[in-house]
Amino acid sequence: MKERNDLELMLRSQVPIIGIETLEEPRLLQLLTRLSLRLHPPFYQWSVTNGIRRLEVDSPPQRITAEPAEALKHIKAVTLPGYYLLLDFHPYLDDPIHVRLLKEIAQDFENTPRTLILVSHSFSIPPEIRHLTARFTLHLPDRGRIRSLIKEEAIRWQQTQNRKIDINREAVDQLASNLTGLTTSDARRLIRHAIQDDGAITKDDIPKVAEAKFQLMGGDGLITFEYDTANFSDVAGLSHLKKWLEHRRSAFIGKSSTLDRPKGIMLLGVQGCGKSLAAKAVAGHFGIPLLRLDFGVLFNKYIGETEKNLRQTLRTAEAMAPCVLWIDEIEKGLSQENSDNGTSQRILGTLLTWMAENKSGVFIVATSNNIESLPAELVRKGRLDEIFFVDLPDADTRGAIFDIHLRGRNLAPSAFDLTELMASSEGFSGAEIEQAVVSALYTARARDTQLNQQGLVAELDGTRPLSTIMSTKIAALRSWADGRTVAAN
């Protein structure tokens, strides 16, 4: 109702030309048909296939006016008020004759109020008529409207299949959140597909819907959709981080309106200690899509293109909201040490402005191995909510890591002495522990034996972890983080 009232207000505002960009032409035509019953000047629609015809009645096509120039000349010659929808007129806005005819019709509005409504998926208004034009945007459905669409499609499926649909209420909430940013028709189509797939709406539908939404948004390689989100049960340790996120989960996914929505976190730490896995687990914990921003793809040699790429990437993230935007190794793109003719500074300015203004529900997870190279404006409180330090795992966490990776390879942890493994792996990162298990399995396979305690310990003893190879650098990182960050574990 509000959308129809807004459109009616625009039509009554005495603007000669109205531009409407939308992928939902049928819904717009339905709205305008309803309004034609309330507004006195008649409504006409034009297309290159049918020419000019009345909108609200089933009138025959007037192919004599199918050509754009002929249609505009016809409208210009009409001496009575009217609204004229020009459907998919965008290819003809490059012709100076068409632009001049549009301008002459608009300039004569005071004598004969003929309103031209340009409707297309996208168009650029020529500068000659920009001052005579106003834009109108169709509202995208909110969570409440999407929930109504889910209910409508569920009822429709039950009626056609003559059986009851299986619905998980939490999955419906997540589905409604994930479909925001889409048009009504696209949202309805994805809902219908989720239901028809198995006659149910469950949590298994959420990743499929998120992937389909990303494809609809036109993912072009600047930002990637990560299919493999993790559960925090797959992440050993990080108890403080898990608790922090749990306290903010309801506020982020929209179940608590009294608290500020969290903005994001920075994960600083030793390489191989689980920052990337934690980023994936944040998305899995919130039950929302995970997008990954690669600064290496973002940068372009042409001046101004990198900033344009970033703005396009952030628009995609906003359209996918609620989502997690994972900016991996953020220092590679925003380091103060970069010598790139000021591109990094411009990128920083664009990102900071967006972070300050963004209200769309994009949760940032930035990972870094060298936070000292990042500008202070980015890491101060207010840009992100917290900086967590992911340190080398302690003994208990190492035991949990062994448990996860042994079980993941169909090995029983009870067949191993975890206490000895925990002692033998002191100073190892989670990635190094996993690789030790993998290497020990290859050695056992080569010897045609089963992996045992002795073989795994031998592999650990023969490995020099990063904490030994780069002990000075890691010690400096730990020293910097002490008192400046919050321990993730």
Q: Which domains are assigned to the chain? A: 2-136 (3.40.50.300), 143-216 (1.10.8), 232-390 (3.40.50.300), 395-469 (1.10.8)
Query: If you count them, how many residues does the chain have?
Result: 489
Tell whether omega for the bond before 81 is within 30 degrees of 0, i.e. cis: no
Dihedral angle computed from the Cα positions of residues 218, 221, 226 and 227, in that order, rounded to the nearest 10 degrees = 60
Residue 333 structure tokens: 């793109």
213, 320 Cβ separation under 8 angstroms: yes
Please report, in tens digits, the pLDDT of each residue of the chain (489 residues total): 677 888 888 998 889 999 998 888 888 998 899 898 888 889 999 999 989 999 877 767 677 889 999 999 999 999 999 999 999 999 999 999 999 999 999 999 999 999 999 999 888 899 999 999 999 888 778 778 888 999 999 999 999 888 888 888 888 888 887 787 778 888 888 999 989 878 889 888 888 888 888 777 655 556 787 766 767 767 787 888 888 988 888 888 766 567 788 889 989 888 888 888 888 888 888 878 888 887 766 665 444 577 777 887 888 788 778 888 998 888 877 765 555 566 777 888 888 888 888 777 899 998 887 777 778 788 777 788 898 988 888 999 999 999 999 998 999 999 999 999 999 999 999 889 999 999 999 999 999 999 999 999 999 999 999 888 988 888 888 888 888 888 888
Residues pairing with 114 in the sheet? 82
Residues linked to residue 136 through DSSP beta bridges, in sequence order: 20
Segment holding 164, helix H or strand E: none
Which segments of 13-139 are extended strands (E)? 17-21, 43-47, 51-54, 82-87, 114-120, 133-136
Report the DSSP pairing between strands 223-226 and 323-327.
unpaired
- Say what the pLDDT of residue 296 is: 66
Alpha-carbon distance of 471 to 100, in angstroms, equals 72
- Phi/psi zone of residue 304: left (φ > 0), alpha (ψ -120 to 50 degrees), beta? left
- In which region does residue 411 sit, left (phi positive, over 0), alpha (psi from -120 to 50) or beta (all else)? beta
Which pLDDT value is given to residue 470? 87
Write 217-222 long-range contacts (CB < 8 A, 24+): 217/181, 217/316, 217/319, 217/320, 218/316, 219/316, 220/312, 221/297, 222/293, 222/294, 222/297, 222/298, 222/309, 222/312, 222/313, 222/316
Q: pTM score > 0.85 for this model?
A: no
Rounded Cα distance between 488 and 473, Å, is 20
Nearest alpha-carbon partner for 182 in 173, 172, 191: 191
Query: What is residue 300's predicted lDDT score, i.e. its pLDDT?
Result: 56
Numbers of helices and strands, H then E, in the chain: 21, 15
Q: What confidence score (pLDDT) does residue 220 get?
A: 54
**C-alpha–C-alpha distance, residues 331 and 9, integer Å:** 49
